[in-house]
Each structure stands twice: as structure tokens, then as C-alpha cells.
């Protein structure tokens, strides 16, 4: 944990400030374009902290272990291998589903560690930005459900943005943490989207790609996301489609896939992952090859565009996508109206919607009537 993250973090139980206790620190080489950060007092120049000065030494500090103690309630949260763990333990059935979700995705994200240096672009956020005509993100940005951290690292490379990735799973946190190790303006926090450990109105921009539909209560996660956005903050999310705007055949296919999911979501992660390794080349032949052929024939381009798994780069590149589709214990699907309603119920003002094998929805948090300034055209509302 980079020490200046502490100024943004709050107790997930009561939202009071946290105090760092018994830290062990390491010095980490950061990228040369590092920006200065406010002194944490953990460096060799602790006098700087009294004068609220920026500190070059503090940019290189990583708090590897320690405790974050709530200044108001009895909440105590550990920092483990550099990751602040701000998850509130619970015992409800929803918490049990959440724990299963963390286990299944954690397994997937921990498998991508060897690919740490391979960061594909454009990735999820950039696809949303282009579909929704969003400009580059600036200020403090929340990646709500950062998974293995590819978008997190891509966005954090911008000199104008500081990005905090929230991720529920151990595997996702660890892989994301190693990806952003050299970047001063990127952080990883382990937390639940339904109990974000940040104060109200903290972020300038928020994005969440393919996460809300895997949360047991998407409406609560959306409301939390809206809560931590500043007045005027831009929000972009992607959620699965329910195929209601497709031909009947697609809905049959979805029904078939859902009945298979009834079995596969109960498999141990390792066995399911191996099955996906076997299935990937078959899916590549069934969908990706037809896409590559159809997209060259003008008459068949619309059909090509509706095919799933178009993005495959090779026969074995679909393992992660298949695992995602067949492992997640919770999967909600949305119609166009449903996706818009999800954000509207969170009191966000929806500004644009794009259909990209699912719904990309752009919104803005608008506290007062006059605050929607240069948000551009309103294509919905």
C-alpha cells in the first residue's frame, strides 16, 4: 500500500478515518515519471509531514504489513503483502455467495500472473470510452472491480489520473498489485462493492466493467458507486445483455448455457479451468472462425457482429472468457431499459447507452439541477 492512499481510505463499517499502526515498509523503485506525494512521515524526513509538504522519498515507500484501525469504531483491518484488506466479514447467505464469487474469480486472476507484463490495449475501459464518447479520465478515479488490473494499469499511466482499483478476490488483488507496483498513481484495495471503504463524494470518475452483474445485490453496488462519486463525477459501466433484442435462437442458446451453468458453477475452480482449456479451441472454431469469415462478406456483417467470442486471438485465448461465463455463482442479465434503470435507481443521470454484446452505460452524478456542465449531449433521458 502506498502511504498516500491512507488519505482516501475509510472504515467500511462506519466510514470514519483510519489510523495506520505497526507498519513494516519496503522501498520500491517507481517509474521515473513519478509524481510527488504528500509526506506520510514514514520516510527519513518525517518533519515534512508537519508542514504538509510533498516528499520524493515517500513516493518509493510501500507499506507491506500493518493494521488500519478505525478512529471511531472497533474496526481493525490488516495490510497483507501490501494490500489493505477492507472487507467486513459477514455470515448471511449473501456473504456466502460473495465468498464463492471471490474464490472463483480469484482462481482465474491468480492464473494470469505470468502475463503481468502483457497489457492489451485497447482494453475494457477504452472500449467503453470509445462507445460512449468519453474523454480521458482525470483526477481521482475508481476502478470498481479491477479483476487482474489491466484497465487499472492502463488508466494509471495517464499523468492526470490517480486510480484506485477495488477488488474482492485475493488472486485479483495480488495480480493487480504486481501490475501497478511501479506506478505511484495506482492503488489496489481489497473490498466489497456493496461496502466501499471511501467517504461520500471522493472520486472524479468511476468505471466498472463486467462486475455489477456478478454481485448478489447489483442495485446496492450501484448505489455505493454513486455515493462515492463527486457532484459531476462521470460513471461508466458494462453489464451483460439479456438477449431481449436478439433473435429467438440466441435466447435458446442463452437458456442452454444457463442450464450448463447450473452444473459448472458448482465445480471446483481448478477442474472448471481445465475444462475451459479443453473447450476453448472448440468455441474458437464455432464462433471466432465464422466471425472472421462472415465479417469479410458485406451481407453477413451484421450476423458477424452479433457472434460471441469474436475477440479471440487464438484457439486457447478464450479460456478466461469461458471460465468467467461458467464459473461466476451470480449472473444477472439486463435489457436496455434494465441497464439504464440500474444506474437511475442509484440516482445517477444516464447520458449515453451503447450496445456492445451487452450494455455500456454512461452516467453522471448530478447533485443539483445546474451541475451538468460540459457533459456533452444527452442522448437518453
**204, 207, 213, 216: CA torsion to nearest 10:** -40
Site string for Zn ion, 75-104 (x = CB under 5 A): x-----------------------------
HSE value, Cβ hemisphere, 13 Å, CA-based, for 83:
24
Q: Does 286 bind Zn ion (CB under 5 A)?
A: no
Taking the complex as a whole, how short is the minimal distance between the CB of residue 199 and Zn ion, in angstroms? 12
Residue among 11 and 328 whose Cβ is closer to Zn ion:
11
**336, 338, 341, 343: CA torsion to nearest 10:** -80
CA neighbor of 234 nearest in space, from 369, 358, 133: 133
Taking the complex as a whole, how short is the minimal distance between the CB of residue 371 and Zn ion, in angstroms? 30
Applying CB under 5 A, which of residues 20, 37, 43, 226 lies at the interface with Zn ion? 43
Q: Does 196 bind Zn ion (CB under 5 A)?
A: no
Taking the complex as a whole, how short is the minimal distance between the CB of residue 47 and Zn ion, in angstroms? 9
Q: Does 11 bind Zn ion (CB under 5 A)?
A: yes
- CA-derived radius of gyration, the chain: 21
Q: Does 180 bind Zn ion (CB under 5 A)?
A: no
- Which strand (E) or helix (H) includes residue 211? none
CB environment 98-111: b (16+ within 10 A), e (fewer):
bbbbbbbbbbbbbb
Applying CB under 5 A, which of residues 18, 25, 37, 39 lies at the interface with Zn ion? 39
Cα separation of 34 and 60, whole Å?
9
Total number of residues that touch Zn ion (CB under 5 A)? 13
Cα separation of 342 and 361, whole Å?
10
Taking the complex as a whole, how short is the minimal distance between the CB of residue 140 and Zn ion, in angstroms? 20
Beta strand pairing call for 203-209 and 139-144: parallel
Taking the complex as a whole, how short is the minimal distance between the CB of residue 254 and Zn ion, in angstroms? 43
Output phi, psi for 62, to 5 deg: -120, 120
Q: Does 68 bind Zn ion (CB under 5 A)?
A: no
Sole window of 66-74, 76-84, 219-227, 312-320 interacting with Zn ion (rule: CB under 5 A): 66-74
Q: Does 191 bind Zn ion (CB under 5 A)?
A: no
Residue 139 contacts residue 162 (beta carbons within 8 Å): yes
Taking the complex as a whole, how short is the minimal distance between the CB of residue 35 and Zn ion, in angstroms? 14
Residue among 4 and 187 whose Cβ is closer to Zn ion:
4
| DSSP for 100-151, written as a single string | HHHHHHHHHHHHTGGGTT---SS-HHHHHHHHTTPPPP-EEEEEES-TTSHH
Residue among 89 and 262 whose Cβ is closer to Zn ion:
89
Q: Does 56 bind Zn ion (CB under 5 A)?
A: no
Applying CB under 5 A, which of residues 68, 70, 128, 364 lies at the interface with Zn ion? 70
Applying CB under 5 A, which of residues 7, 53, 73, 133 lies at the interface with Zn ion? 73
DSSP letter, residue 370: G
- Residue whose C-alpha cell reads 456478478 in the numeric block: 214
Q: Does 55 bind Zn ion (CB under 5 A)?
A: yes
Taking the complex as a whole, how short is the minimal distance between the CB of residue 34 and Zn ion, in angstroms? 13
Sole window of 71-79, 264-272, 282-290, 358-366 interacting with Zn ion (rule: CB under 5 A): 71-79
Q: Does 164 bind Zn ion (CB under 5 A)?
A: no
Applying CB under 5 A, which of residues 37, 58, 222, 236 lies at the interface with Zn ion? 58
Taking the complex as a whole, how short is the minimal distance between the CB of residue 17 and Zn ion, in angstroms? 9
Sole window of 4-12, 79-87, 205-213, 225-233 interacting with Zn ion (rule: CB under 5 A): 4-12
Largest CA distance in the chain: 70
> 278 CB contacts (<8 Å, ≥6 apart)?
none
Summarize as ranges the residues that interact with Zn ion (CB under 5 A).
11, 13-14, 16, 39, 43, 55, 57-58, 70, 72-73, 75
Amino acid at each position: 500500500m502506498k502511504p498516500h492512499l491512507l488519505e482516501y481510505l475509510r472504515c467500511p463499517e462506519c466510514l470514519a478515518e483510519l489510523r495506520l499502526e505497526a507498519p513494516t515498509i519496503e522501498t520500491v523503485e517507481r517509474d521515473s515519471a513519478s509524481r510527488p506525494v504528500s509526506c506520510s512521515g514514514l520516510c527519513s524526513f518525517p518533519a515534512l509531514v508537519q508542514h504538509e509538504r510533498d516528499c520524493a522519498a515517500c513516493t518509493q515507500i510501500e507499506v507491506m504489513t500493518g493494521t488500519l484501525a478505525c478512529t471511531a469504531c472497533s474496526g481493525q483491518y490488516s495490510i497483507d503483502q501490501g494490500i489493505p484488506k477492507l472487507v467486513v466479514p459477514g455470515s448471511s447467505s449473501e456473504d456466502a455467495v460473495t465468498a464463492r464469487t471471490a474464490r472463483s474469480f480469484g482462481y482465474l486472476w491468480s492464473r494470469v500472473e505470468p502475463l503481468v507484463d502483457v497489457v492489451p490495449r485497447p482494453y475494457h475501459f477504452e472500449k467503453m470510452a470509445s462507445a460512449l464518447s468519453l474523454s480521458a479520465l482525470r483526477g481521482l478515479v475508481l476502478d470498481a472491480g479491477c479483476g487482474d488490473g489491466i484497465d487499472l494499469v492502463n488508466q494509471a499511466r495517464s499523468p492526470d489520473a490517480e486510480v484506485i482499483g477495488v477488488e474482492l478476490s485475493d488472486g485479483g488483488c495480488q495480480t493487480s498489485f504486481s501490475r501497478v507496483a511501479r506506478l505511484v498513481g495506482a492503488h489496489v484495495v481489497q473490498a466489497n462493492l456493496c461496502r466501499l471503504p471511501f467517504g461520500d463524494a471522493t472520486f472524479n470518475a468511476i468505471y466498472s466493467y463486467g462486475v455489477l452483474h456478478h454481485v448478489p445485490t447489483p442495485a446496492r453496488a450501484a448505489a455505493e458507486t454513486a455515493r462515492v462519486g463527486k457532484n459531476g463525477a462521470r460513471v461508466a459501466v458494462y453489464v451483460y445483455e439479456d438477449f431481449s433484442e436478439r433473435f429467438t435462437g440466441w435466447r435458446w442458446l442463452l437458456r442452454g448455457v444457463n442450464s450448463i451453468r447450473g452444473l459448472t458453477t458448482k465445480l471446483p475452480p481448478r477442474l472448471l479451468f481445465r475444462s475451459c482449456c479443453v473447450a476453448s479451441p472448440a468455441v474458437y472454431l464455432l464462433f471466432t472462425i465464422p466471425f472472421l469469415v462472415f465479417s469479410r462478406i458485406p451481407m453477413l456483417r451484421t450476423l458477424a457482429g452479433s457472434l460471441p467470442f469474436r475477440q479471440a486471438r487464438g484457439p486457447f485465448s478464450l479460456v478466461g472468457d469461458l471460465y468467467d461465463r461458467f464459473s461466476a455463482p451470480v449472473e444477472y442479465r439486463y435489457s436496455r431499459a434494465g441497464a439504464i434503470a440500474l444506474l437511475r435507481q442509484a440516482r445517477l443521470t444516464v447520458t449515453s447507452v451503447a450496445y456492445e454484446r451487452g450494455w455500456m452505460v454512461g452516467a453522471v452524478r448530478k447533485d443539483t439541477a445546474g451541475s451538468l456542465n460540459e457533459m456533452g449531449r444527452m442522448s437518453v433521458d
